[in-house]
Amino acid sequence: MTQIFEFKSNGKFTVTVDENNVKIKSKGMLNYINKGSRGEKSIPIKSITAIQFKDPSLTAGYIQFAYSGSSESKGGVFDAVKDENTVLFAKKELKQAKDLVDLIESKRHASSAPQTTAVSSADEILKMKELLDAGVLTQDEFDAKKKQLLGI
């Protein structure tokens, strides 16, 4: 499911989050002056290593994405303004910014969670048959396990 977040206060940013990518598109004169005409930046969610979140106070807040191979700006909001991996937002957009970070974090954790492989009953029965043939299980033990796996 694709979700779109629009930030319009400090430059204009559209952030699109789908199952695999975060896409940042900056628009407007302020962004053109600070970042040039770079088009849309697409970052694979599985490659994001960190998300820096700064609440807005006297200056704009920002969300900065770090990933393998990216260069992270370290000079606060003034450097973040020029960073193509950063989205600026105002205090009135704080909830939306937090929602964006929460969504991306949940997708990051979901993609890094170990995948459990479901073993079918047929596979288990085949393993039990091999153990029966090897003499590890008796016919009665095999039959009991087979009934259990088949739900009989």
**pLDDT tens track for 9-67:** 767 889 999 999 999 998 754 544 445 555 688 999 999 999 999 999 888 899 999 98
- Judge residue 87's burial from the number of C-beta atoms within 10 Å of its C-beta, 0-12 exposed, 13-18 middle, 19 or more buried: buried
Owning domain of residue 141? 121-150
Structural domains counted in the chain? 2
Residue for token digits 């989050």? 17
Residue 35: count other Cβ atoms within 10 Å of its Cβ: 16
Looking at residue 98, what is its pLDDT?
Answer: 97
- Quote the pLDDT of residue 121: 83
**Residue 39: CATH number of its domain:** 2.30.29
Name the DSSP class of 136.
S
Residues 56, 107 within the same domain: yes
Q: Kindly report, residue by residue over 73-103, the tens digit of the pLDDT.
A: 665 655 666 778 889 899 999 999 999 999 9
Domain co-membership, 71 together with 96: yes
Contact 55, 61 (CB under 8 A): yes
Whether the per-residue pLDDT at 117 is higher than 70: the answer is no
Could you tell me if 21 and 75 lie in one domain? yes
